[in-house]
């Protein structure tokens, strides 16, 4: 038997990196899985990689109306939602002087406003025992230069893990944060750096990690499986740091 047998799980931002690997691990543990993404092409690619065994849903994570439409689509397809992994995120880093209101609002919409209203839209689908996992970041705990807006958005999301757990506990719904440290994902490749510059950046990032390496999507996905499963039934309103010691040492 799998650790997620019989569970219905939605992963936002599931077309690459941590989200895609979590979908793979959830499927291996017996869950019925849906993933979201902005790009139809990337959703199709992810669907093929997962051998067509997932429900793929196009959705813009920062659009409140889109979150309501996503919930309605899921309600028409599934009898309930046992696991929600909020993984989609905007990872923009830049100096304070380079931010303007539009870029600030766009990041906050994806990382904080969208997740809140998606949870709100899905409330009727969550049964007793449901698990909501919010992907935070170790950046919420450290003073990394150029991470100000990103880190603030993740700190807000981690606060929701506590406050929503307090509000939803009578329904038996658990909300927890899962916070990665530096992780080897395709996100670094989207910065448009030359190969040597990207390698230098990775080396710089590794120096931040006490154990001397970056994490892998599989390591984060395994932690998500734990929080999604009944094994974590006594874990409520807290944060699991999977960060190589960045936030603790």
67 class by beta-carbon count within 10 Å (0-12 exposed, 13-18 middle, 19+ buried): buried
How far apart are the C-alpha atoms of 222 and 155, rounded to whole Å?
A: 23
User: Does a structural domain hold residue 42?
Assistant: yes
Binned at pLDDT 50, 70 and 90, residue 211 comes out as very high
- Say yes or no: 76 and 148 in one domain: yes
Q: Does the pLDDT value for residue 190 go beyond 70? A: no
- Say yes or no: 66 and 163 in one domain: yes
For the chain, the C-alpha Rg in angstroms (whole number) is 17
For the chain, where are the E strands, in sequence order?
8-11, 32-37, 54-58, 83-86, 131-135, 174-180, 239-242
- Say yes or no: 27 and 104 in one domain: yes
pLDDT of residue 188: 65
User: Does a structural domain hold residue 92?
Assistant: yes
Binned at pLDDT 50, 70 and 90, residue 208 comes out as confident
Binned at pLDDT 50, 70 and 90, residue 197 comes out as low
User: Does a structural domain hold residue 124?
Assistant: yes
Least confident piece of the model among 128-137, 180-189, 197-206: 197-206
Binned at pLDDT 50, 70 and 90, residue 193 comes out as low
- Say yes or no: 137 and 96 in one domain: yes
Binned at pLDDT 50, 70 and 90, residue 185 comes out as confident
- Say yes or no: 46 and 125 in one domain: yes
User: With a threshold of 0.75, does the pTM exceed it?
Assistant: yes
- Say yes or no: 122 and 197 in one domain: no
Binned at pLDDT 50, 70 and 90, residue 231 comes out as very high
- Say yes or no: 120 and 167 in one domain: yes
pLDDT of residue 13: 97
3-state SS class at 218: helix
Over the stretch 59-102, which tens digit does the pLDDT of each residue have? 999 999 999 999 999 999 999 999 999 999 999 999 999 999 99
**Boundaries of domain holding 199:** 186-214
- Say yes or no: 173 and 70 in one domain: yes
User: Does a structural domain hold residue 249?
Assistant: no
User: Does a structural domain hold residue 210?
Assistant: yes
- Say yes or no: 48 and 66 in one domain: yes
- Say yes or no: 200 and 137 in one domain: no
pLDDT of residue 134: 98
How many domains does the chain contain in total? 2
User: Does a structural domain hold residue 173?
Assistant: yes
How far apart are the C-alpha atoms of 130 and 16, rounded to whole Å?
A: 25
- Say yes or no: 101 and 197 in one domain: no
pLDDT of residue 1: 86
pLDDT of residue 202: 78
The one catalytic residue in 114, 150, 175, 223 is 150
Q: Does the pLDDT value for residue 58 go beyond 90? A: yes
Which CATH number do you get for residue 15? Answer: 3.40.50.720
User: Does a structural domain hold residue 2?
Assistant: no
133 class by beta-carbon count within 10 Å (0-12 exposed, 13-18 middle, 19+ buried): buried
Instruction: Find the mean pLDDT for residues 172-180.
Output: 98
Q: Is 8 a catalytic residue?
A: no
Q: Does the pLDDT value for residue 191 go beyond 60? A: no
- Say yes or no: 31 and 118 in one domain: yes
User: Does a structural domain hold residue 246?
Assistant: no
């Amino acid at each position: 038997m799998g650790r997620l047998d019989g569970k219905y799980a939605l992963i936002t931002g599931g077309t690459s990196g941590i989200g895609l690997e979590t979908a793979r691990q959830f499927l291996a543990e017996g869950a019925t899985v849906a993933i979201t993404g902005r790009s139809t092409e990337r959703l199709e690619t992810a669907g093929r990689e997962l051998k067509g065994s997932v429900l793929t849903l196009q959705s813009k994570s920062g659009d409140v109306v889109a979150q309501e439409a996503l919930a309605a689509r899921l309600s028409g397809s599934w009898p309930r939602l046992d696991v929600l992994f909020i993984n989609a995120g905007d990872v923009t880093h830049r100096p304070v002087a380079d931010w303007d209101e539009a870029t600030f609002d766009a990041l906050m919409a994806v990382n904080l406003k969208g997740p809140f209203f998606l949870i709100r839209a899905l409330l009727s689908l969550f049964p007793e025992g449901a698990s909501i996992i919010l992907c935070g970041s170790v950046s919420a705990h450290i003073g990394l230069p150029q991470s100000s807006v990103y880190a603030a958005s993740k700190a807000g999301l981690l606060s929701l893990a506590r406050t929503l757990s307090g509000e939803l506990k009578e329904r038996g719904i658990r909300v927890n944060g899962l916070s990665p440290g530096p992780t080897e994902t395709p996100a670094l490749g989207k910065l448009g750096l030359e190969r040597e510059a990207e390698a230098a950046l990775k080396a710089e990032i590794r120096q931040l990690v006490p154990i001397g390496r970056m994490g892998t999507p599989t390591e984060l996905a395994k932690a998500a499986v734990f929080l999604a499963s009944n094994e974590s039934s006594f874990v409520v309103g807290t944060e699991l740091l999977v960060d190589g010691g960045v936030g603790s040492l």
